[in-house]
Amino acid sequence: MSDVCQNTAGEGMKSSWPELVGRRGEEVKEIIDRENTKVTAKIISENAVVLAVVICDRVYVRVNDQGIVTRTPISLANLIVIYIYIYIYICVCVCESIMDLNM
């Protein structure tokens, strides 16, 4: 887990809920709030644009027009780690391409 959000997934606390996709958003929010007391679930539209602001204790529950969860709810602390890995991967690929061009 990221040092930035180190307090949002305590020992034995969940940070991802793939098993809740397809259930009602309100029900999912209650489950997440109960299973990890260090985060707060917030229901948003599946099409909502979320700013890249680090809110470590937030879990977005994306729902469709019928209120059904369409994506795996995941704590933003996990997303930070994923973004770091993607950034590193892109940097490595770009560096390799530049090196290939210079040879």
- Judge: domain 18-77, CATH 3.30.10.10: yes
- CA distances (Å), 81 to each of 16, 31, 40, 57, 74, in order? 13, 24, 19, 15, 12
Q: What average pLDDT does the structure give for the chain?
A: 77
What average pLDDT score do residues 31-39 get?
A: 90
Contact 5, 84 (CB under 8 A): no
pLDDT of residue 94: 66
- pTM of this prediction? 0.66
Q: What is the pLDDT of residues 58-99, one digit of tens each?
A: 899 999 999 999 999 988 765 554 455 555 666 666 666 666
Task: Look at residue 74 in the predicted model and tell me its pLDDT.
Answer: 85
pLDDT value of position 72: 92
Structure tokens given for 90: 């892109």
> Distance (Å, rounded) from C-alpha 45 to C-alpha 49?
9
Backbone angles phi, psi at 40, to 5 degrees: -125, 125
Domain boundaries, the chain: 18-77
